Amino acid sequence: MKKYIISILIVSLLAINHLFSQDIMGDKIIASVDNHIILKSELETRIMDLLARQAIKANDAEARCQVLQELIIQKMMLAKAEIDSVNVEDKVVESQVDRRVQYLLQSCCGGDATKLEKLYNKTMPDLKKEVYDLVKEQMVGQKMENEIIKDIKITPKEVKKFYNGIPKDSVPQFKAEVQVAHLVRIPEVSKEQKQEARRRLDSLKKIIESGESFEKIASEYSEDIMSAKEGGKLGWMGRGKLVPEYEAAVFKLKPNELSPIVESQFGFHLIKLYERRGNEQNSAHILIRPNFDAVDLQAETKFLDSLRLKVMKDSASFAKFAKEYSHDKPTAYSGGDITNSSGSTKVFIDEIDTFVYSVIDTMKVGQISRPVPYRTDDGKSAVRILFYKKRTEGHTCTFESDYDKVYTFALNNKKQKAIEEWFKKTKDQLFIKVDDEFKDCPILNK
C-alpha cells in the first residue's frame, strides 16, 4: 500500500533524537506553511523510520514525495488550528511529555537520568522543555485531524471491497503479536519523606512571605517542570481540570493570596491565586515531590509474589486480582491488559515496550513473571508482575482471521482520503512554499 496514514500523536525515539540533535545537523528549510517550517532533517528522520520498519524501499522517490506531503499536511493542520483557535491544555501536554521522556529514559539508559543527560549534554529539565514543543505541536495537529475525520465511518461491505482490492503481491504480512497484562503496586512514600518535602516547601513559602517573588522561586525550585518555566503559572482552569485537593484550596483563596501547603497524589503544592471568575481560576503553584526513588519496594514485592503463587497454584484469576489490587487504574479496569497506541490488546512484538519484551522473552505463554521494578508515567517507583497471555505468530493477512485489522486498514484508508480532500480544499487558504529541490513532487498540484 502506497499511503502512509498520518499518526501525529505518536512520537518515536527517532523523532526525539532528531529534536535533540537538529542544532548540529546543518539543516535547511525545505518547506513552510504560513509561519510553520519543515526542516530537511524532519523529512530524513521520517524516511529513516519508514525504512527501518520496511514500509518503503530505499531511493523511493514517490514515497519521499508522499512523506513530504504528510509533513506539509501536518503543518497545515497547525496553521488552521491557529486560525480556528484549536488548542490543547498545557496539563495534558505535560502528562504526555513526562510519559514519553520516561519511555526514552528507560529505553536508552535503563532509567538512569544521569546517563541520559550525558548522552544529550542537556539537563533533564532542558530535555523536557525541548520535547514539550514537539509534543504540543503533535497533539494540536491530532486534535485538528480528529475534527476532519470525526464523522468518517465504514460498513462491512466497504471493508470487504477494500480487502478484495488489495493486489495479491501487496497483501500484508503480519509480524508476531503478543497479549500481555500487568499488575502494578506503588509503595507509599514514608512519613519521613513526606515531612522532608513539606519542610522544603515551607521554607520556600517563608522566603516568599519575606518579599521574594513567587514566580522567581517557582522558576528555580518547582518540580513541575513545565509550569516552572512560566513562573509556576497554570493559566485559566475550570473546575474539574486539576486534582481535587488543589481545586479545594484554590477556590478558597483571594486574589494574590498564598494557600497553606496542599498535599495531592503528585506531592506538595504552594498555590498563588491571581484571579477568579465564576467556576474558573487563574493560578500558579510550586510543586515539591517526596523522593519517590527512596521508597521501599520490599513489602509490595512480597505481596505480588503471594498473588502470583495464588494464580499459579489455585488457578485464581489474574484479571480479578488486577482489577482488585493493581494501582495502575487505567489498566486495572480491564484486568491489567497492556494496550498499544490504538487501544488494542494485541501488540506487535516489535512495538511492545522494551522492558516488557525483555521479561516475556524469557517466558512461555501462560506464565507470570516474578515481580520486576517499574517506573510509572508520573515518575514513581513501583513494582509489577507480567502475565504472558497469548502469542500469535507472523502470517499473511486473511479477511476471515484478521477482520479487525482489515477493518482498521480500510477505515484508515477512508480517513486518509478525507484528509487529502481537506488538503485540496484548504491549501489555497494558506501560504505554502516548497523548496525547488522537491519541484518534481506533485504536492501542490494534486
- Which value, to the nearest 10 degrees, does the dihedral of the CA atoms of residues 343, 87, 138, 115 take? -90
CATH of the domain spanning 173-188+295-396: 3.10.50.40
Chain segment 383-421, per-residue pLDDT in tens = 999 999 999 999 999 999 889 889 999 999 999 899 889
Q: Which residue from 388, 332, 358 is spatially nearest to 177, judged by alpha carbons?
A: 388
What pLDDT does residue 381 have? 84
Is 122 in a helix, a strand, or coil? coil
Q: Do domains 13-161+398-438 and 191-293 have the same CATH topology?
A: no
Chain segment 204-239, per-residue pLDDT in tens = 999 999 999 999 999 999 988 778 888 999 888 877
What pLDDT does residue 106 have? 65
Query: Considering the chain, what is the average pLDDT of its residues?
Result: 85
What pLDDT does residue 87 have? 86
pLDDT of 52 strictly over 80: no
Between residues 150 and 128, the one the model is more confident about? 150
pLDDT of 2 strictly over 60: no
Cβ proximity of 67 and 47 under 8 Å: yes
Cell 495537529: give the residue. 141
Question: What residue ranges do the domains of the chain occupy?
Answer: 13-161+398-438, 173-188+295-396, 191-293
CATH of the domain spanning 191-293: 3.10.50.40
Please give the Cα distance from 218 to 233 (Å, whole number). 9
| pTM for the structure as a whole | 0.54
Q: Edge-to-edge, what's the strand order for the sheet holding 267-277? A: 233-238, 280-288, 267-277, 262-264
What pLDDT does residue 6 have? 36
Chain segment 136-174, per-residue pLDDT in tens = 888 898 899 999 999 999 999 999 999 999 998 889 888
What pLDDT does residue 150 have? 92
Least confident of 34-43, 122-131, 171-180, 397-406: 122-131
Between residues 104 and 365, the one the model is more confident about? 365
Please give the Cα distance from 54 to 112 (Å, whole number). 31
Looking at the domain 13-161+398-438, which fold is it?
Triger factor/SurA peptide-binding fold (1.10.4030)
C-alpha cell at 348: 506487535
pLDDT of 19 strictly over 60: no
β-strand 395-396 against 262-264: which pairing, if any?
A: unpaired
